[in-house]
Structure 1
Amino acid sequence: MGELRTRFSGRALAVLAPARLATPVAWMPAARAFVIGELAQEAEQRRLFPWIAVAFGCGILIFFTATDGLPNVWAPLIAAVACLAVLPFLGAHPLGRAALIALCAVASGFASGTWRVAQVASPILSRTSIAPLTGFIEALDEREEGARLIVRVSTFGTLGAQDRPARVRVSFRKPHALKPGDFIAATARLLPPPEAARPGGYDFARDAFFRGIGAVGSLLGKIEVRTPPVPVPLDLRLAAAIDDARNGLTRRITDANGGQAGAVAAALVTGKRGLITQETNDVLRAADIYHVVSISGLHMVLAAGVVFWLLRAGLALIPYAALHLPIKKYAAAVAMVGVTAYCAFSGWDIAAERSLIMTLIMLGAILVDRPALSMRNLALAALIALAREPEGLLGPSFQMSFGAVAGLIACARWLNGRFFRREGTGWLARNIGLALSAVFGTLLTTLVAQIATAPFATFHFQTIQPFGLIGNALTLPLVSLAVMPSAVIGILAYPFALDLPIWWTMGLAVRGMLMISTWISGFGQATLVVPAFGAGAMMLLATGLLLATLPVSRLRWLAVGPAILGVGFAAASERYDIYIDRDGNGAAVRDRSGRLVALGKPPAFVLEQWLKADGDPRKPADLAGGASCDRLGCTVEAFDGRKIAWVKDKRAFPEDCARADLLMTPRFAPQPCAAALVIDRAYLGRYGATALRLTKGTPLVAHARADRRSLPWRSRGRLEAEDTGGAIPRTANQVPLNPNGPEEPDVFVEPSPESLQ
């Protein structure tokens, strides 16, 4: 082992180590010189700027995870200005200057979160209610049965402006002749936007808050179209006109193709996905190409690319333009206008907006003679996107799209497929080399994007598509070479009514895409469900991705540690044994077989989230029949022998309180109740959805509201329930619903991999 020596210090015990490592003087200067040299290379390659975007994102994370209430926006702004004011006095102290710039970015990110919440804040419905609703239709999404509406509310019952949601999302099943811009009157059943179905799960309430939606539900009975009592606002007229045009083009494309090929083709052009069946969605997800259906980065890049190529090729045919004009810049400028118009027509979806920002920056780089695809441009796009919508940092769309592009930029030199190119060889050899290069480049690009997005996709959706490489490699050429060019040409031909043959041609490519997806979905284990893991593992994996992609020096090797730790923590995550619905309408318990069984009637969406979190590939319907149920409630014996009871009717309380180890109910439990743990309406009103891990002794309990913070997107009704011990005050003209009544309407939207680009 070589010579050993012992080194003592005033603060440490004796340490044995190899001679060349024992003395800090022997290795610390070398390490310091190594780090300084690598950082110098980073600065030379202009790779320090992207870390400003990372610091900005850290400020946003601090805002969303640590604040209790709404901070004063001036506090972080003053902190950011103070950092900038001190910066000129540091002189030649690069580390100090870097630290101050990072602190300024963190404070700015915190300020953006504060400002965004203040800008979008609007009333949230406090409790489930049935009352007359009137308002303007802002957007309408047709579905196989009925439609889903975004309504700008004028009145709801007798609620005043301070309590009435500004916008609501409602659905109806029977067909009605409605269009965007109509002023409607109907009876609505509304409820506060639902919070997470499990601790650490997708929080629909937060997303709805930032979209200005204060309630969700359904319309009951007759829907009347009335004369508006006030003039229609200009912004509403514009939004309604665009949405009506999107619906018209959607119907035209579906009529030209028919079936699911028409529905998917329409979604690729207009972003309207309501006509796509769940079976088709599952097939596309199994092939890992569902991101193609959502208007996002792939669509923005291909749409801009088609316009750019067509205009540049057309100008190149004109000798004077080709010789004397910067036709590349002209094409880039027109492409910027075209892709912006396309984003507006597709509905300004959040994922599309972020992709538009990234595309505009890259096209703008062409105008100023800069590399279009660079990490600096990506960081600039991230800064603009996060400044506009800081909440996007928490969602899968932002994480997956920017993660994929960062991975592709970092691996760009290996993605060009030049390994198969042979200069100076014969015609046949050159063409074979070009073909192999294209195939190799497509496969490697897909693989890099999948690796970069895998941590985020697994964290949010608990699924892995092992054959996604095949699905993307086979379908993306169809999308790039046939589908999107047809979409751009079809939109240009639409005003002239010459578009039907183009949509039919596009439908043929979409049918091929669906055939490939169906074939892949038939493979065994095409979709693997993995247990959910915590935010800590996700942070380690994200840190590993940043360290692997942003540096250009050997500092990239620092990514190995966080990546290995993140994978280890994700693999070692423990599953919960009991899940309880946020409203107490049902639960899932791990029984003697080791699998979850359902108690009560939790919504199918909630059951699906519980199954995915457990790594269980079964469908919600498969959980029925595992418990002993009657009209009063359900009982089941957990895997460790504890007796679990779910009480529906108050007549079951005396018996179940006496015999159950854990009692759950959507009602207020009587006091006293002998059960070791009682989770009733008051408890759930305080803590939200609850999950338990059955250990020896006292179970470990986790809550969706574990932090107990006051957040603007949390329903005031639940906060009032906490303050009043569970008794929720009634509001005039609002009809309280029996917790044992009908299930919630189809108002939940599962977060889907909207974008991998």
Structure 2
Amino acid sequence: MEDNRGRTWPIPRSATRVVALPRSWGTSIEWRLLDGRGWLSNAITQEIEQRRLFPWIPVCFGIGILLFFRADGAPALWAPMGAFAVSGAAGIALRRNMTALIAMIALSAIFAGFAAGVIRTRSVAAPALMRITITTIAGFIEAVEDREEGQRLLIRVLEMKDVAEAERPRLVRVSVRAGAGLMAGQFVTGTARLLPPPEAAWPGGYDFARDAYYKGIGAVGSMVGQVRRVNPSKPPDWSLQLAAQVDEARNTLTQRIATSIGGAAGGVGAALVTGKRGLIPEPTNDILRGAGIYHIVSISGLHMVLAAGTFSWLVRALLALTPAVALLWTVKKIAALAAMIGATIYCIFSGSDVATERSLIMTLVMFGAVLVDRPALSIRNLSIAALIVLAREPEALLGPSFQMSFGAVAAMMALVPLMHRKPVERTPATTIELGLRWLGRAMLGLVTTTLVASIATTPFAAYHFQSLNPYGLIGNALALPLVSAVVMPSAVLGVLAYPFSLDRPVWQVMGGAVEQVLAVSAWVGSFSGSTVVVPALSIGALALLSLGLLILTIPASSLRWMALVPAGIGLALTMVPDRYDIFIDREGAGAAIRGSQGQLALVGRPSNFVTEQWLRADGDARNADDISLRREALCDSTGCVVVAGDGRRIAFVLDYAAFEEDCRRANVIVTRLQAPLTCHGTFVVDGEALKERGATTLRLSRDAIEVTSVRKGREVVTWPGDRSFQAERTPAQGRPRPARPVPEQDLPEDEISSGEPD
């Protein structure tokens, strides 16, 4: 600043204006509040100067999505859209007041997220079966997945016997034992045993029904008898034809890779290229999980970056061979454009799953920044990718794929640069020394990024999968160099050589590297404690840990130290998990009750999948077939009784004859039958209550019972019982009926999506 005598003086910070802010803010911002007096004002000034407020917009957008999924019922669209318009208009009117403007932008993002949830839910709405049905179906095969035993088909249904068109699912997913010759695009018919997509096995568990709804799948099951090819009544539309052609190409290449490599390595190699994981043996899946590297078989960020990077390197290297091209053309941008095209084709070819699409968007944003001469890796670009993903598929926010991938990338962007010191520049003595330094820096970078990503994703892994892999750092450090240097470049070269039928040697080279990855995984997985089962995190603990991660990664100033508060409280909550005392199957087929020894005791006949879900949620490492699960239950032909640690008796009733005694002696009764109205003084969860609430859990205290269900959420009632958990009915409706066997009501484990992280 120059005065009237020509002298120059430094401009104080309190008088400066940030040039990046809109011109309308110029004279109205009260900079005296941010004049550097104190840590908080300095930190806020730094955040504004470095434009670190923008990444909070997708955070607010996500909050709106979470509020939508917490809503009870079907929200109206006009409400969030109207609130979005009002808050946006208020932001424009108050744009001269920075604090008010920021608040209005945050509110607008929240309402926009809520509206996105409403729009997405309405756009994918389709009928779903409400009961188990055995019927004849006919439709086009949209996708085929080869498995160790048979195939799994995704059928677009056009006809379904004895089911009204308004109730007919649009898509069904069925397994076939003998499916030789079946291909995508064929019109088939046959008898199918179908059931509604199963809901979560416990409140907070994996909800397959929700995922199926957003995929348009209205029923799952298996084909009974022969599946016949017939002539369709009308030709398939263009979208089905395109999907069928892509799926058939994927299956053909999958078989080519699997047969070229052979064995378990063939199934893993095929999955790495095409995303088809059905040929991987289950023991191999367990080996990869135990080593903490199962994410390599899910087409996600790692594969997309490696594939796009290989395309970029190849194009840039080829163009650089010609001096005129290298000097006159913008080779870097041409390579970035080629990488974007290659990544898009790879996404389509690999199935365009949610994780793959999310990875593609992040990759396109990264290379798009190169085209416009902006930093490719920045928290701002990551925020743009998050906004696009959540706007397209708001339900992705609830899944482990989105949470773990964005959490890992944000943590690496924010923390990895802080963990590396700039190397001291000096001339190496020998070429060997130069190579050793390069190798050391590469290994340090790999270990650092793996460590940061592992820490960032641990809360989400504990919440969704109730398991941790302490040696995942070792597994990733040993396996990822092979994947990055050999497997993925071989995959790109193999795909390019495939049309010329010169790909088999390339697949065999890749297979050798995959076998080494499996060997490393088996070695790491053999360590004692390679997989640790932990109790499921509460929603509160996950929310606090997630907030801590956001505060740690988004701010550029010392505000990130505030992350210690929510993260510390979240960690404290994980140390004292609040376990459920009783898990009840959604149809009353069985229950798991905490006995006097503090462990769960199994009663009834729940499926193995549901039982393992309960055990993992409780932090119990036992398998579903462990004989110790039945030790504390006293059972006869009419039911079972388990004595809890506080002496209360919990009865599981299978026959009406047991009600007379159990209503007098038990404190809690669980049954799939209709309990008689004369059962007073006892807390009852019967078939009618389960039909209304779905899978239910109970937490017993001295004075009350906390009831949490999939459909109704949390309810608290007082002892000795609240009759609201038995549906209102007349005495005639409550008369005993003949006992009937518990039906098979859960899918086999291979019919449930694994939900593995990327």
TM (norm. structure 1) is 0.89
Please say if 1:667 is aligned against 2:666: no
Q: Is the contact made by 1:682 and 1:725 (CA closer than 8 Å) also made in structure 2?
A: no
Q: How does 1:209-358 map to 2 (within 5 A)?
A: 209-358=213-362
SS of the residue corresponding to residue 167 of structure 2 reads coil
Alignment counterpart, residue 546 of structure 2, candidates 539, 542, 547: 542
Corresponding residue for 2:53? Answer: 48
CA distance in 1 between counterparts of 2:599 and 2:662 reads 23
How far is the alpha carbon of 1:68 from its aligned partner? Answer: 2.7
Q: Is the contact made by 1:199 and 1:703 (CA closer than 8 Å) also made in structure 2?
A: yes
Classify 1:35/1:276 alpha carbon distance in 2 versus 1 (closer, same or farther; 3 Å). Answer: same
Corresponding residue for 1:617? Answer: 621
Please say if 1:742 is aligned against 2:744: yes
Corresponding residue for 1:504? Answer: 508
Q: Is the contact made by 2:36 and 2:42 (CA closer than 8 Å) also made in structure 1?
A: no
CA distance in 1 between counterparts of 2:415 and 2:682 reads 56
CA distance in 1 between counterparts of 2:279 and 2:152 reads 11
Q: Deviations over 1:20-66 (max 9, x none)?
A: xxxxxxxx99997533321221122121111111111111111111x
Please say if 1:404 is aligned against 2:426: no
Corresponding residue for 1:517? Answer: 521
Q: Deviations over 1:537-575 (max 9, x none)?
A: 111111100000000101111111000011111222211
Classify 1:46/1:212 alpha carbon distance in 2 versus 1 (closer, same or farther; 3 Å). Answer: same
Classify 1:631/1:493 alpha carbon distance in 2 versus 1 (closer, same or farther; 3 Å). Answer: farther
Q: Deviations over 1:100-131 (max 9, x none)?
A: 11111111111111110111011121122222
Q: Deviations over 1:396-417 (max 9, x none)?
A: 1000000000001102423556
Alignment counterpart, residue 68 of structure 2, candidates 59, 63, 66: 63
What are the ranges of 5 or more consecutive residues in structure 1 without an aligned counterpart? 1-27, 710-720, 729-736
Corresponding residue for 1:8? Answer: none
Alignment counterpart, residue 160 of structure 1, candidates 164, 170, 174: 164
CA distance in 2 between counterparts of 1:79 and 1:523 reads 55
How far is the alpha carbon of 1:608 from its aligned partner? Answer: 1.0
Corresponding residue for 2:591? Answer: 587
Please say if 1:98 is aligned against 2:102: yes
Q: Deviations over 1:366-397 (max 9, x none)?
A: 10011110000000000000000011111110
Which range moves more in the overlay, 425-434 or 572-581?
425-434
Alignment counterpart, residue 141 of structure 1, candidates 141, 145, 152: 145
Classify 1:727/1:235 alpha carbon distance in 2 versus 1 (closer, same or farther; 3 Å). Answer: farther
Which range moves more in the overlay, 132-141 or 358-367?
132-141
Which range moves more in the overlay, 34-43 or 746-755?
746-755
How far is the alpha carbon of 1:750 from its aligned partner? Answer: 4.9
CA distance in 2 between counterparts of 1:179 and 1:660 reads 56
Classify 1:680/1:103 alpha carbon distance in 2 versus 1 (closer, same or farther; 3 Å). Answer: same
Classify 1:116/1:289 alpha carbon distance in 2 versus 1 (closer, same or farther; 3 Å). Answer: same
Classify 1:752/1:31 alpha carbon distance in 2 versus 1 (closer, same or farther; 3 Å). Answer: farther
Q: Is the contact made by 1:600 and 1:646 (CA closer than 8 Å) also made in structure 2?
A: yes
Q: Is the contact made by 1:605 and 1:748 (CA closer than 8 Å) also made in structure 2?
A: no
Q: Deviations over 1:127-182 (max 9, x none)?
A: 22222222211111111111211111112232222211111111133444311112
CA distance in 2 between counterparts of 1:650 and 1:217 reads 31
Higher relative contact order (CA 8 A, sep 6+): 1
Q: Which amino acid letter does the alignment assign opposite residue 74 of structure 2?
A: L
Q: How does 1:641-656 map to 2 (within 5 A)?
A: 641-656=647-662
SS of the residue corresponding to residue 215 of structure 1 reads strand
SS of the residue corresponding to residue 140 of structure 2 reads strand
SS of the residue corresponding to residue 630 of structure 2 reads coil
Corresponding residue for 1:689? Answer: 695
CA distance in 1 between counterparts of 2:746 and 2:83 reads 46
Q: Is the contact made by 1:415 and 1:445 (CA closer than 8 Å) also made in structure 2?
A: no
Which range moves more in the overlay, 75-84 or 239-248?
75-84
Q: Which amino acid letter does the alignment assign opposite residue 744 of structure 1?
A: D
Q: Is the contact made by 1:423 and 1:430 (CA closer than 8 Å) also made in structure 2?
A: no
Corresponding residue for 1:700? Answer: 706
Alignment counterpart, residue 426 of structure 1, candidates 426, 429, 442: 429
Q: Deviations over 1:58-92 (max 9, x none)?
A: 11111111x23322323322322333323333253
How far is the alpha carbon of 1:642 from its aligned partner? Answer: 2.7
How far is the alpha carbon of 1:518 from its aligned partner? Answer: 0.5
CA distance in 1 between counterparts of 2:614 and 2:742 reads 21
Classify 1:607/1:341 alpha carbon distance in 2 versus 1 (closer, same or farther; 3 Å). Answer: same
Which range moves more in the overlay, 433-442 or 626-635?
626-635
Q: Is the contact made by 1:128 and 1:191 (CA closer than 8 Å) also made in structure 2?
A: yes
Classify 1:385/1:727 alpha carbon distance in 2 versus 1 (closer, same or farther; 3 Å). Answer: farther
What are the ranges of 5 or more consecutive residues in structure 2 without an aligned counterpart? 1-32, 716-725, 734-738
CA distance in 2 between counterparts of 1:54 and 1:41 reads 20
How far is the alpha carbon of 1:329 from its aligned partner? Answer: 0.4
Alignment counterpart, residue 73 of structure 1, candidates 63, 71, 77: 77
Corresponding residue for 2:450? Answer: 446
CA distance in 1 between counterparts of 2:730 and 2:282 reads 41
Question: How many residue pairs were aligned?
Answer: 707
CA distance in 2 between counterparts of 1:199 and 1:31 reads 48
Q: Which amino acid letter does the alignment assign opposite residue 702 of structure 2?
A: K
How far is the alpha carbon of 1:632 from its aligned partner? Answer: 3.6
Q: Deviations over 1:449-507 (max 9, x none)?
A: 01111111111111111001000100000110011011111111111111111111111
CA distance in 1 between counterparts of 2:741 and 2:167 reads 23
Q: Is the contact made by 1:149 and 1:171 (CA closer than 8 Å) also made in structure 2?
A: yes
CA distance in 2 between counterparts of 1:648 and 1:252 reads 52
Corresponding residue for 1:712? Answer: none
Q: How does 1:621-636 map to 2 (within 5 A)?
A: 621-623=625-627, 624-626=629-631, 627-636=633-642
Q: How does 1:485-500 map to 2 (within 5 A)?
A: 485-500=489-504
Q: Is the contact made by 1:128 and 1:189 (CA closer than 8 Å) also made in structure 2?
A: yes
SS of the residue corresponding to residue 621 of structure 1 reads coil
Q: Is the contact made by 2:34 and 2:41 (CA closer than 8 Å) also made in structure 1?
A: no
The Cα RMSD (Å) is 2.4
Please say if 1:122 is aligned against 2:126: yes
Q: Deviations over 1:308-332 (max 9, x none)?
A: 0011011111111111000110011
CA distance in 2 between counterparts of 1:540 and 1:556 reads 14
Classify 1:264/1:575 alpha carbon distance in 2 versus 1 (closer, same or farther; 3 Å). Answer: same
Classify 1:699/1:77 alpha carbon distance in 2 versus 1 (closer, same or farther; 3 Å). Answer: closer
Classify 1:341/1:333 alpha carbon distance in 2 versus 1 (closer, same or farther; 3 Å). Answer: same
Classify 1:54/1:727 alpha carbon distance in 2 versus 1 (closer, same or farther; 3 Å). Answer: farther
Please say if 1:191 is aligned against 2:195: yes
Which range moves more in the overlay, 154-163 or 98-107?
154-163
Please say if 1:205 is aligned against 2:209: yes
Which range moves more in the overlay, 375-384 or 87-96?
87-96
Classify 1:479/1:692 alpha carbon distance in 2 versus 1 (closer, same or farther; 3 Å). Answer: same
CA distance in 1 between counterparts of 2:421 and 2:189 reads 60
Q: Is the contact made by 1:392 and 1:398 (CA closer than 8 Å) also made in structure 2?
A: yes
CA distance in 2 between counterparts of 1:81 and 1:702 reads 36
Q: Deviations over 1:324-354 (max 9, x none)?
A: 0001100110110111000000000110000
CA distance in 2 between counterparts of 1:664 and 1:753 reads 33
